């Protein structure tokens, strides 16, 4: 099944990483207690697990779930809905809810993720983009080592700047992921220049990596996807927005309509899946982080550049591996797919995904289609042909799938 070289690299990498696994486990214990205390505080009951229909006014399950999210993320309000089709849809809802024609937004971590560039519309024309609504855009470039350039951020902020976008994860880049403390420092810096500027954090892939969240260190509003970290591998779809009440309300008017906002919206998915997934999320995130730490050491031993390294402080669940050629990128993803529990017989190929400038290859044999908290790997077909591996419901699967990807690379020769 696996060559002796790969088995030996696996054993050595596990020995090397053993000392780093206590960190994610301790964080999971802290965050599990945080969620458990919040569930006790808001008094979650099985009465909150039922579905609703039609307008769903006074949906007690929907209301209780949002009360729970607000308590855990320590915010005034939350909007948690299966009506969000993706993380990008969730983030887009925030931007279109808050920004008005003539306003400007600034991205402080260089170019955002590919699909968010389409929402913004300045790199490439896109129907319905912020640009079409006369919303300005500025972008602060990163330093040479991939960190925030505060001088560049300062130049981006002016009287028209209403909101800054802070993308926590690396996206399809090799820059370091932001930690919560780094996000806090960015928020403080922005507020020192323009106190009324809204700090909006794209928290995708970052929930429960640390014991604090960005809304605890200065972020005014934050959003993410339920089929990433906070869904715990159980949520079937959806997204969440948490933050200041007035800002969450503005986003809710974009999701439904002005005057209605979050007051309606049927719970068509079983709410139990959303509550239970949220409860399990810290443990599942720890499994994903340990899988990423192992992959960093394992593929480094096989001669590849990996970032973060095993001992680096992590801000998300993503492990980037630089493969150098498109053939290796394709082989890696095929190996991950081959060792997936669902659709293991499928062969991933690069294709023109909506919202992406380059073709993208994705391997995701997941129980929830495309769920990034389950083990998956993807990457754009562009230099340096890096693959971005994330997730794992179990650490054991993370090890096996990484070995499967390595075997496909070895077979490629």
Sequence-separated (6 or more) residues with CB below 8 Å from residue 192: none
Annotate 92-126 with three-state secondary structure.
Answer: HHHHHHHCCCCCEEEECCCCCCHHHHHHHCCCCCC
The answer, yes or no, to whether residue 413 has pLDDT greater than 90, is: no
Task: Just give the CATH number of 44-277.
Answer: 3.40.640.10
pLDDT at 266: 95
Task: Just give the CATH number of 4-30+279-412.
Answer: 3.90.1150.60
**Strand-strand pairing, 161-167 and 198-202:** parallel
Mean pLDDT of the chain: 96
d(CA 84, CA 318) in angstroms, rounded, equals: 22
Average pLDDT on 317-339 reads 98
pLDDT digits (tens, 9 = 90+) for 255-312: 999 999 999 999 988 899 999 999 999 999 999 999 999 999 999 999 999 999 999 9
pLDDT at 274: 98
* Buried/exposed 231-260: b ≥16 CB within 10 Å, e otherwise: bbbbbbbbbbbbbbeebbebbbbbbbeeee
pTM greater than 0.85 (yes/no): yes
Instruction: Decide if 407 contacts 413 (C-beta within 8 A).
Output: no
pLDDT digits (tens, 9 = 90+) for 43-78: 999 999 999 999 999 999 999 999 999 999 999 999
pLDDT at 356: 82
Q: What is the CA radius of gyration of the chain?
A: 21
Residue ranges per structural domain of the chain: 4-30+279-412, 44-277
């Amino acid at each position: 099944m696996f060559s002796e070289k790969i088995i030996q690299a696996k054993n050595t990498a596990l020995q090397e990483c053993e000392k780093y696994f206590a960190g994610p486990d301790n964080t999971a214990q802290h965050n599990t207690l945080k969620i458990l205390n919040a569930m006790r505080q808001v008094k979650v009951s099985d009465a909150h697990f039922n579905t609703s229909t039609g307008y769903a006014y006074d949906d007690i399950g929907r209301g209780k779930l949002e009360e729970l999210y607000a308590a855990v993320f320590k915010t005034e309000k939350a909007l948690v809905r299966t009506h969000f089709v993706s993380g990008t849809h969730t983030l887009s809802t925030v931007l279109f809810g808050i920004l008005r024609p003539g306003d400007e937004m600034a991205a402080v971590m260089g170019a955002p993720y590919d699909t968010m560039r389409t929402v913004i519309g300045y790199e490439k024309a896109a129907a319905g983009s912020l640009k079409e609504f006369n919303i300005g855009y500025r972008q602060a470039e990163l330093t040479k080592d991939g960190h925030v350039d505060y001088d560049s951020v300062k130049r981006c902020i002016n009287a028209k700047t209403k909101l800054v976008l802070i993308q926590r994860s690396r996206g399809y880049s090799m820059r370091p992921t932001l930690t919560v403390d780094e996000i806090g420092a960015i928020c403080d810096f922005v507020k020192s220049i323009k106190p009324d500027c809204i700090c909006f954090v794209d928290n995708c892939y970052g929930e429960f990596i640390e014991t604090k969240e960005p809304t605890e260190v200065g972020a005014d509003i934050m959003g993410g996807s339920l089929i990433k970290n906070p869904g715990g591998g159980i949520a079937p779809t959806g997204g969440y927005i948490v933050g200041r009440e007035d800002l969450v309300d503005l986003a809710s008017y974009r999701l439904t309509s002005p005057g209605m906002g979050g007051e309606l919206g049927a719970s068509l998915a079983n709410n139990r899946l959303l509550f239970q997934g949220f409860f399990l999320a810290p443990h599942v995130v720890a499994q994903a982080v340990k899988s990423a730490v192992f992959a960093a050491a394992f593929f480094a031993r096989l001669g590849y550049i990996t970032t973060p390294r095993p001992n680096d402080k992590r801000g998300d669940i993503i492990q980037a591996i630089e493969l150098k050629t498109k053939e290796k990128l394709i082989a890696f993803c095929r190996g991950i797919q081959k060792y997936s529990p669902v659709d293991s017989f499928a062969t991933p190929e690069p294709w023109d995904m909506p919202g992406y400038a380059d073709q993208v290859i994705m391997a995701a044999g997941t129980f929830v289609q495309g769920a990034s908290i389950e083990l998956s790997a993807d990457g754009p077909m562009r230099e340096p042909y890096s693959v971005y591996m994330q997730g794992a419901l179990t650490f054991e699967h993370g090890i096996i799938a990484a070995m499967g990807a390595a075997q496909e690379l070895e077979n490629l020769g």
